[in-house]
Amino acid sequence: MRREIIAGNWKMNNLTSEVETFFKDFGALSADTKRQVIVAPAYPYLKTAGELARECGIELAAQDLYPQPEGAFTGMIGSKMLKDLGVSAVIIGHSERRHILHEPLDLIREKVRFAQEEGFHLIFCVGETLEERQSGEMLNVLTTQITSAFDNNLTAAPEMVTIAYEPVWAIGTGVVATPEQAEEMHSFIRKLITEKYGYGDSRILYGGSVKPNNINGLISLEDIDGALVGGASLKAESFRALVNA
């Protein structure tokens, strides 16, 4: 049985007072909470968030990492720093890094390798743009994103490798993939990682304008194991509603 995940990616949002308010308002997870709950604050607030997250029973993630433990890499964050702050998971390959920062496939592959080597829970993002979907290239795009990162490059246990399918056209737009669209893509990903890597038990999350009023229609589907949430994870009330959905 795959344990569902609700993960919040705060991106470049929430200052110190907002971080403190979030965890105060969220409170502690109840002992019978079945879902794994993860929050990824911005780098400057990992220490503050980490201390408060532990009290709530929430795991701490980083939004990215540089594939070195430490060294002369200006502006980067290495694994030793993340571990020192209590980070246990890292998000790699988010579309904003792929498309805004033009992160190449070979660097993403190196980060995937390094995150596993360092013992982090890898949350690996894939997804197509609107143009790629309209041209019918979405399955080829996902195949390239996954195989370029995973071929001969998977060493962690399947439960430590999570894929987040985030259609770029649905991120922050208010547009959500229909349950049928989402299940089609998740089913395709599951089949691919099962047949190529034997990782069929890895969890696959949906991301893209997930909110309390639409999450049930998504996570009720067979191949969707939770959500990677942006805007709706910034406030405790909406995030708790997602966790409890």
Q: What is the percentage of the chain residues whose pLDDT exceeds 70?
A: 100
Number of independent structural domains in the chain: 1
> If you search the block for the tokens 């502006």, which residue do you land on?
75
pLDDT over threshold 80, residue 172: no
State the chain's mean pLDDT as an integer: 96
Give the per-residue pLDDT at 169.
87
Q: Convert the pLDDT of each residue in 184-194 to its tens digit.
A: 999 999 999 99
- CATH number for position 235: 3.20.20.70
Q: What is the mean pLDDT of residues 222-244?
A: 96
Domain range holding 127? 5-243
Pair 130, 169: CB distance under 8 Å = yes
Give the per-residue pLDDT at 42.
98
pLDDT over threshold 80, residue 31: no
Burial 186-199 (b: 16+ CB within 10 A, else e): bebbbebbeeebeb
CA 85 centroid distance within chain: 19
**Distance set, CA 41 to CA 17, 166, 216, 235 (Å):** 13, 19, 25, 12
DSSP 166: -
Give the per-residue pLDDT at 110.
98
Give the per-residue pLDDT at 135.
96
Give the per-residue pLDDT at 136.
95
pLDDT over threshold 90, residue 75: yes
Orientation of helix 179-197 relative to helix 138-150, angle to 10°? 40
For the chain, strand residue ranges (E) read: 5-9, 36-40, 59-62, 89-92, 121-126, 161-165, 204-206, 226-229
Pair 183, 203: CB distance under 8 Å = no
Give the per-residue pLDDT at 8.
98
> If you search the block for the tokens 């089609």, which residue do you land on?
184
Q: Convert the pLDDT of each residue in 91-143 to its tens digit.
A: 999 999 999 999 999 999 999 999 999 999 999 999 999 899 999 999 999 99
Q: Convert the pLDDT of each residue in 192-204 to its tens digit.
A: 999 999 999 999 9
pTM metric for this prediction: 0.96
DSSP 44: G
Q: pLDDT band at residue 22, thresholds of 50, 70 and 90?
A: very high
Give the per-residue pLDDT at 179.
86
Q: pLDDT band at residue 177, thresholds of 50, 70 and 90?
A: confident
> If you search the block for the tokens 């971080």, which residue do you land on?
19
| Catalytic positions | 94, 166
Q: Convert the pLDDT of each residue in 131-161 to its tens digit.
A: 999 999 999 999 999 999 999 999 999 999 9
Give the per-residue pLDDT at 56.
96
